[in-house]
């Protein structure tokens, strides 16, 4: 696995002797998977920027797509300036989302390979136990099985939404059957993906310390030991 | 543009129309007899003129047909089908236009509230002001009628001259027809006229003659007499048109299921938070690894039922 980089307090000195910033956060600009004092750097700046790029373009796609999908959520269109604007913005937001997610796949694909521990994690029984806050698996690395599964499902969904979306965007270029199938698939895919993302957002905020990993990039030792023990061991060489 | 004086029976992306049900309006229909059409295109000209549509460039491709198919600026087109029927060459003219279905697939597919409306007289009209140019109506229509204009970014099609019919005039095409193959009146009268004509044709040996008023879309407010109604495809008409099943599924059950699933997931997670609260790790004073449960690594269910 990832070899821990030399344990730095070193990184903070790079920003000059007068810097009063949090050394771990400063280190997280360019590096991750390192220990800085009592913090562990989980996501460097580039990773976080990509994640939020994907998140915001997805939310924009959702916000502009939902009022087109159902008149019950038509009021959402007013947030972007009306249904006409939503219709104009939606395909471009979707393209931006797919493009950024593609970059994220490049960034993360290697780290997201499923291990036996990950497969164990996503089994229904153990996932239910996890949701009851009762699961603990010492083999969970930087990402747990659920996160990895979400990652691959997101990539799949983005690909499906992009392909069917292009057909819906330029219906004149495609046959009737393909247009009908694309419409149905676009709807099914976005519904399932949105459900996943609702769960993802919940798990990201329900536990203190988790969203911090995606905001300033660092987590506490306790958090890491609880959630990603194998990753913690790798970085700290403890145990 | 929706006509102010007409009540709306159903409207796109709306739960219901606004019929007051105070007045009783019969469905109004156009009657087309393809067997007496001489292909003079007077109706095409009348349509362009009444609707103020600039004409579109044409190309000589060896056919009498004005343009290959309907166009956002050309809502009424005589198709000149050249087909062989039982060894004989036949030149089958058909007036192609919006069929004004009782169950309009375009209206069902349309996501923009009020962009497509059906009046209580059965006419299906479009409202460019509300149209968002998404082109989903093209997928909803089983007759391939709606046309998207790159110029305006909106959909356009025949309105059955609702601006004329609402003040008691017949559609422009009907007004112009020199052979009397076009008529306009209540659906009941037009169907009766069609059946009379079909009987006449059958008596003359056209066993396949019939009236095209497909039940799959609830019937249409354009009823067409066909000499070969047993083979509508040779006229470029679908044999059994319906609103596509995928469109009905997307706009119907799937849409409700999706909304319920999203609401259910959010409510479920709120319930989950109330029941389980935030996930909080044990605070360990030292940096030593947890000595507490689970003692054995990878025993995910070791501490079941300890949450109460």
Write down the pLDDT at residue B92. 94
- Distance, C-alpha A231 to centroid of its chain: 18
Determine the Cα–Cα distance for residues A144 and A106; give it in Å rounded to an integer. 19
Please report the domains of chain A, with CATH numbers, ordered by start residue. 87-133+143-213 (1.20.950.20)
Q: Do B14 and A195 touch (CB under 8 A)?
A: no
How many other C-beta atoms are found inside a 10 Å radius of the C-beta of residue A109? 12
The A residues from 177 to 196 touching B (CB cutoff 8 Å) are 179-181, 183-184, 187-188, 191, 194-195
pLDDT digit of tens for each residue in chain B (308 aa)? 567 678 888 899 887 666 666 777 899 999 999 999 999 999 999 999 999 999 999 999 999 999 999 999 999 999 999 999 989 999 999 999 999 999 999 999 999 999 999 999 999 999 999 999 999 999 999 999 999 999 999 999 999 999 999 999 999 999 999 999 999 999 999 999 999 999 999 999 999 999 999 999 999 999 999 999 999 999 999 999 999 999 999 999 999 999 999 999 999 999 999 999 888 765 544 444 444 444 444 444 444 443 43
Q: Do A136 and B300 touch (CB under 8 A)?
A: yes
Place of tokens 């879309």: B217
By the CB < 8 Å criterion, does A19 face chain B?
no
Residue A17 token pair: 């002797």
How is chain A split among helix, strand and coil, in percent rounded to 5? 70, 5, 25
Instruction: Give the count of Cβ contacts less than 8 A between chain A and B.
Output: 143
Under 8 Å between Cβ of B74 and B48: yes
Half-sphere exposure of B137 (CA within 13 A, CB side): 29
Architecture of the CATH domain B8-27+36-184? 2-Layer Sandwich (3.30)
Under 8 Å between Cβ of B110 and B136: yes
* Global ipTM: 0.88
Q: pLDDT tens across B113-158, in order?
A: 999 999 999 999 999 999 999 999 999 999 999 999 999 999 999 9
Determine the Cα–Cα distance for residues B28 and A206; give it in Å rounded to an integer. 60
- What is the average per-residue pLDDT within A145-157? 96
- Residues with Cβ within 8 Å of residue B146, at least 6 apart in sequence: B98, B106, B135, B137, B138, B155, B156, B157
**Can you give the pTM of this predicted structure?**
0.87
Residue A48 token pair: 């976080």
Mean pLDDT (chain A) is 91
- What is the average per-residue pLDDT within A100-113? 96
Q: Which of A16-25, A35-44, A214-223, B152-161 has the lowest mean pLDDT?
A: A16-25
* pLDDT band at A135; cut points 50, 70, 90: confident
Q: Is A172 strand, coil or helix?
A: helix
Under 8 Å between Cβ of A191 and B258: yes
DSSP, res A80 = G
Determine the Cα–Cα distance for residues B136 and B218; give it in Å rounded to an integer. 20
């Amino acid at each position: 696995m990832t070899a821990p980089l030399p344990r730095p307090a070193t990184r903070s000195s790079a920003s000059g002797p007068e810097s009063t910033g949090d050394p771990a956060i400063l280190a997280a600009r360019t590096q991750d998977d390192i220990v800085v004092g009592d913090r562990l750097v989980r996501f460097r700046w580039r990773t976080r920027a990509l994640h939020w790029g994907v998140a915001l373009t997805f939310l924009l796609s959702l916000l502009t797509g939902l009022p087109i999908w159902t008149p019950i959520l038509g009021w959402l269109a007013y947030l972007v300036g009306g249904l006409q604007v939503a219709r104009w913005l939606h395909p471009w937001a979707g393209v931006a989302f797919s493009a950024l997610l593609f970059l994220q796949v490049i960034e993360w694909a290697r780290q997201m390979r499923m291990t036996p521990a990950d497969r164990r994690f996503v089994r229904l029984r153990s996932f239910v136990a996890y949701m009851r806050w009762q699961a603990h698996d010492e083999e969970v690395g930087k990402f747990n099985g659920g996160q990895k599964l979400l990652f691959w499902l997101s990539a799949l969904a983005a690909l499906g939404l992009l392909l069917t979306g292009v057909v819906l965007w330029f219906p004149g270029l495609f046959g009737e059957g393909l247009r009908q199938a694309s419409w149905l698939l676009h709807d099914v895919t976005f519904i399932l993906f949105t459900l996943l993302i609702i769960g993802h957002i919940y798990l990201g905020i329900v536990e203190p310390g988790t969203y911090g990993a995606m905001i300033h990039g660092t987590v506490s030792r306790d958090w890491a030991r609880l959630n990603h023990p194998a990753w913690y061991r790798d970085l700290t060489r403890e145990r | 543009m929706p006509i102010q004086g007409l009540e709306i029976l159903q409207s796109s992306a709306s739960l219901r129309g606004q019929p007051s049900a105070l007045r009783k309006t019969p469905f109004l229909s156009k009657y087309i007899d393809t067997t007496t059409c001489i292909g003079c295109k007077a109706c095409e000209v009348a349509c362009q003129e009444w609707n103020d549509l600039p004409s579109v460039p044409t190309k000589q491709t060896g056919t009498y047909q004005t343009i290959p198919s309907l166009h956002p600026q050309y809502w009424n087109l005589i198709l000149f089908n050249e087909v062989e029927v039982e060894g004989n060459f036949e030149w089958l003219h058909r007036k192609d236009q919006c069929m004004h279905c009782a169950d309009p697939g375009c209206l069902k597919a349309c996501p923009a509230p009020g962009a497509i409306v059906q009046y209580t007289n059965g006419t299906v009209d479009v409202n460019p002001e509300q149209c968002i140019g998404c082109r989903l109506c093209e997928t909803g229509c089983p007759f391939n009628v709606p046309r998207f204009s790159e110029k305006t970014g909106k959909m356009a099609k025949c309105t059955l001259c609702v601006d004329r019919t609402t003040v008691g005039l017949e559609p422009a095409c009907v007004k112009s027809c020199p052979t009397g193959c076009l008529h306009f009146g209540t659906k009941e009268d037009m169907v009766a006229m069609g059946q009379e004509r079909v009987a006449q044709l059958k008596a003359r040996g056209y066993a396949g003659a019939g009236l095209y008023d497909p039940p799959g879309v609830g019937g249409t407010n354009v009823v067409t007499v066909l000499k070969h109604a047993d083979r509508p495809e040779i006229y470029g008409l679908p044999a059994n048109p319906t609103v596509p099943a995928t469109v009905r599924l997307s706009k119907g059950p799937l849409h409700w299921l999706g909304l319920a699933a999203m609401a259910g997931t959010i409510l479920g997670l709120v319930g989950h938070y109330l029941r389980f609260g935030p996930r909080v790790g044990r605070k360990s004073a030292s940096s030593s690894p947890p000595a507490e449960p689970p003692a054995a690594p990878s025993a995910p269910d070791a501490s079941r039922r300890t949450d109460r």
